[in-house]
Structures are given as C-alpha cells and as structure tokens.
Amino acid sequence: MNIMKKTNSDPTPVYYKLQKILQNEIERGRWSPGEKISPERSLAELHRVSINTVKKAILNLVHEGYLYRIQGKGTFVAGTTLRSESLRYYRLLSDFKDDEAHLKVKLLELKIIKCFRPANHYLDLDLNEDLYEIKRIFSSSENPIVYTISYLPQKMFENLSEYPITLFEKTTLYEALEKNYGLPTIYNHELFGAVKADAETAKKLEIPKGTALQFIEMISFTYRDRPYEYRRSYCNSDQRKIFREI
Amino acid sequence: MNIMKKTNSDPTPVYYKLQKILQNEIERGRWSPGEKISPERSLAELHRVSINTVKKAILNLVHEGYLYRIQGKGTFVAGTTLRSESLRYYRLLSDFKDDEAHLKVKLLELKIIKCFRPANHYLDLDLNEDLYEIKRIFSSSENPIVYTISYLPQKMFENLSEYPITLFEKTTLYEALEKNYGLPTIYNHELFGAVKADAETAKKLEIPKGTALQFIEMISFTYRDRPYEYRRSYCNSDQRKIFREI
DNA sequence: GCTCATTTGTTCGTATGTATC
DNA sequence: TGATACATACGAACAAATGAG
C-alpha cells in the first residue's frame, strides 16, 4: 500500500508527508547547502503524486527557508538563513545620521578551554567538555567598537585551530562554519543588557573602566534546534546606537 | 480589455495583480481587522480568474500577515502582527533561570507637547506639530523594571487624552490603538544602547544615579510604512537580561 | 546568435474532502 | 441536514529562464 495515500486512519495530507520527508533529508545532509535537489517531475514520479502536490511541499519548504528555487535551473538547499554576520546585521548609527560603519575584524585569541556556566547550559554540554574560545575585536576606522568572545563546542568543530587566521578575519564566522563544517545557521537567540566595562573589556575597547556598555549574549542554532555557538559581545554604544528591525 | 490578463506588454502575473489589489484594499481600510473578506468564489467571478489564482493571491497575503483563514468560515483581515506589547515581548530573565516576570503597568503622565528632535525625524513630522507624551512604569512585584516614554502624533490620535486611564494600564498600547483607531502595528524598528541613569530616570526606577541601563528606542509602523509611535525605554537590566529571538 | 532540452512559473479546469453554521 | 467556504489533489497546457551545443 502506498504510504503517500491519505486514508481515514491517517488523514495527514500527502503534500505534508512529502514536505516532511524532504525536510528530513535536508537536515540529515543528503544535499549540502547550495546543492540542487531532484526536479519536481522526478519527485512526482518517485512518490507517485502529482506535480502540483510536489510543488506545494517544495514551496512550503521555500517559505520555511529550507530551499530556494531558480526558474530554469532548479531547486536548491538553502544555507545560512541569517545572511550576514550578526554584528554586521546590527547597523551602527552614530548619533542620528545613518552613517553605516564598515567594521574591520581582528582575531585576538583562539584557544581551547573547559566548559563553564552558563555556556554548558546554552550549548547543551557537560561541564567537563572542551570549548573553543575565540576573542575578536570589531573596529571602525581604527576605533574599537565591539569586543566579542565566542564559545564553540570542540567536538562539533574538530581542527578548528588549524584553519588559517583569515578564516576568522576575512569571512564571517557564519560563512566559515557553514563552508567548512556544513552547518547552516537557522536562528539565533539573544540576551540584551547593559553593563559597566570591567578592566579587561575596558582595555580591549580602549575606554575608561566603568563606561556603560551594550552587552549582547547570543546563542546560534543550526538544524534541529542544536546550539553551536554562545557569544558575548560588548558594544561601545557611546555616541552610537545599534539598530535592528523586528 | 480585461486588466487582469497577462499580456506581453504587462507580464505581471494575474495572481500578483490580484494580491496587490487586495493588499491595497486592506490597507485603505475597506475591511477592519477581524472582518471577513469576500469568499474565493466571489473574487474569482468578480475578477474573472480561476479559483486557484485567487487562492494563490490570498495565500501569499496570509504568508505576509495581512490575512488569516479558517476552513469553513472564511478569510479574515489580520490585525496587529506583533502579538503583544513590545515590552512584554521581551522576556525578562533573572540571572540564568527562566523566571518570566509578570509586569504591571502604571501610567505616570499623559500630556501634549511640541515635537522635538529626533522625534520629528522618526515620526515624519514638522517641529511645530503636537505630540502626545505618555510616561509609564512597568514593575515586577513592586520593583520598577522599565520606564518608558512614548510619543504619538497628536493629529493621528484625536481625543486620546479623553480615554480612561485603563486604556493605558489594562490593555497593551498596541491593542488599544488598534481597537480605538483601527491602526494595526505592522513592524517595529529598534535602537539599542547602554546609558547611565540620569536623575529623573534614576528616581523613576528607584536606583542610584549612574547605574548602567539598557536603553531601547522603538519606532512602530503601521500600513504603508507610516510611523505612529516613537518610544524610549530604560530597562534596569541589573540582575536581569532581556531576551528575544531573531 | 540560435535552437533545443530541462526546469521552474503561471493559469486553468475539475473533483472531492472537511469544517462551520 | 444542507449550504457555504476553505483544503487537498490531480491533470493539462503554455510561458519563461537556463544552459548546452
């Protein structure tokens, strides 16, 4: 009996079953981001359904960000849905003029440390597991604006330390991780707060200790709600504000 | 000649034309939020197109948040897309426990003032126009957490001062404005920063002057990208963080 | 520049199922 | 129960974009 058929005992629509089958295959990495999936007609034949049913399943996955389509070329697996580095996603405003800054990234440090609270909680790890700690400074015309510390589970990113520095300075972290480990970023959580600069942060940002700083904690998730990065950012929002849209 | 027809000189798809016609009617207030629009069949007949074409137009508007559908009942105009008060949309976290606070709102002041910089810029007004200024405190178990000052164009909200206090304390501002003025909130812009508490804010939040505060500026937009509220919020993020998802 | 096969995009018609009142 | 309205599913035809030859 055809598992695709809608029956009384299983009223799930056919298009929805197909949609979930495809979603599953994408998440399990049958195709990497950017790769072309089978054309509509093949899928229709394979699963013995109409082309319009395949269309509906695929279009839903396009809406959910799993796929994108190009007329005449095909249907492709989408990569990272967040198109740019989170820190660039926030536009920096100086005063009220929309003077968008071009940020330069500098890698300060990359080492392996033991997991700690609350990173273990956010990254769903045990306290005895290893983490990469990546410290970076984002500057605008020689002025340090943002100091970030990223934590990545060591077991998810083997050999990360052996990649060239440029991996962390030329491309965004998102692109780098997607390209080298096939992990697209599906969504982020963020925690916002205000703190006064401690000694280390003040030194890195070249500001007086005690300055009010915008503090952003971010947790990035890939498929299946799996967290893969915990990041702390300290932004010198003096004279600047951080902009975003809901 | 039928304007709906797709021709060589106008290759715009029929479903898209219909979609834009409907979007326009919604934005111009032909139906209020919650009201039922014409059924598929009628629209198909009226515009001389197939039901499937109408479906496509409508489903796109559903995806964009203009409409929602209930099988067997009809298709309805969606109201505010931001489902809850922005300040409640942010979950407050104390430390790392997900202790979601229930916030109580208190109206401190409602008066009419002259427009000022930068409100004129954000609300697209002249400097000589009038603004409502609404000051509110959000508290969690008697502790003031957030101090907000909202600015609304006087000309968009006639008689606002005559509404009962409960309008600003019982329901969210979004719901109140949608219900009384038929203005749904389509999206928000936000500016984040960190500031040290000035004298007035410190007093309102019952904290020492100079405490690091989370500062959020928000501009709310209704249909056609028309701004209708500029809001400044000062959050005492000491011990708490503000949470959101992208 | 052209043609052709492939692939997605649009539009229609039609039938049947299901939820609401 | 019947009328109304949306949901699912199939089939078919043609348009439009792409890439190969």
**pLDDT the model gives residue B181:** 86
| Mean pLDDT of the residues in chain B | 83
Q: A-chain residues within 8 Å CB-CB of B82?
A: 246
Residues in A lying within 8 Å of B, measured between beta carbons: 63, 82, 90, 93, 96, 117-118, 121, 187-196, 212-215, 217, 235, 237, 240-246
Contact A96 B190 (CB under 8 A): no
Does residue A178 have a pLDDT over 90?
no
Structure confidence at residue B238 as a pLDDT band (50, 70, 90): low
Q: What is the mean pLDDT of residues A7-16?
A: 80
pLDDT digit string (tens) for B79-122? 766 544 444 445 555 433 333 446 678 899 899 999 998 899 99
Q: How confident is the model at residue A238 (pLDDT cuts 50, 70, 90)?
A: low
How far is the alpha carbon of A198 from chain B, nearest alpha carbon, in Å?
13
Max mean pLDDT range (A51-60, A116-125, B233-242): A51-60
Q: What is the pLDDT of residues B161-183, one digit of tens each?
A: 888 877 777 777 877 888 888 88
How high is the pLDDT of residue B246? 45
Tell me the C-alpha distance between A142 and A114, whole Å: 33
- DSSP helix/strand/coil, A90: coil
Question: Within its chain, how far is the Cα of A245 from the centroid?
Answer: 17
The mean pLDDT of A93-119, rounded to a whole number, is: 72
Q: Distance between CA A69 and CA A58 in Å, rounded?
A: 9
pLDDT > 70? residue B8: no
For residue B243, give the nearest of A90, A191, A242 by CB distance. A191
pTM (two decimals): 0.80
Subunit contact A212:B212, Cβ cutoff 8 A: yes
Going by C-beta distance under 8 Å and a sequence separation of 6 or more, which residues neighbour residue A100? A91, A92, A93
Q: Which nucleotide in the DNA or RNA is closest to residue B38, CA to C1'? A: D5
Q: Which of B24, B37, B30 is nearest to B67 (CA)?
A: B37
Å between CA of B54 and C1' of D12: 19
In chain D, which nucleotides are within 7 Å of a protein Cβ?
A: 4-12, 15-19
How is residue A48 written in tokens? Answer: 């013995």
Compute the average pLDDT of residues A148-163: 90
CA of A213 vs C1' of D14, distance in Å? 60
Helix (H) or strand (E) holding B175: helix B173-181
Task: Note the pLDDT tens digit of each residue in A185-202.
Answer: 887 888 888 889 999 999
Residue type (1 letter), B186: I
Tens-digit pLDDT profile for residues B152-161: 999 999 888 8
Quote the mean pLDDT of chain A: 83
Residue B175, phi then psi, degrees to nearest 5: -60, -45
CB B122 within 8 A of CB B227: yes
Footprint of strand D on the protein (CB under 7 A): A 6, 13-16, 49-53, 56, 70-73; B 8, 11, 39-42, 52, 55, 69-75
Q: What is the pLDDT of residues A211-226, one digit of tens each?
A: 999 888 888 888 878 9
Average confidence (pLDDT) over B231-243 = 75
Please say whether the beta carbons of A223 and A186 come within 8 A. yes
Domains of chain B: 14-77 (1.10.10.10), 84-242 (3.40.1410.10)
- B55: the nucleotide nearest its CA (via C1') is D6
Transcribe A213-241 into DSSP letters. Answer: EEEEEEEEEEGGGEEEEEEEEEE--TTEE
Tokens found for residue A21: 């089958």
CA distances from A46 to A3, A12, A15, A39 (A): 12, 19, 14, 11
Tell me how far apart the alpha carbons of residues A50 and A61 are, in angstroms, rounded to a whole number: 17
pLDDT greater at residue B226 or residue B188: B226
Per DSSP, helices labelled H in chain A are 14-27, 40-47, 51-63, 86-89, 119-123, 166-169, 173-181, 199-205
- The arithmetic mean of pLDDT across residues A77-101, rounded, is 52
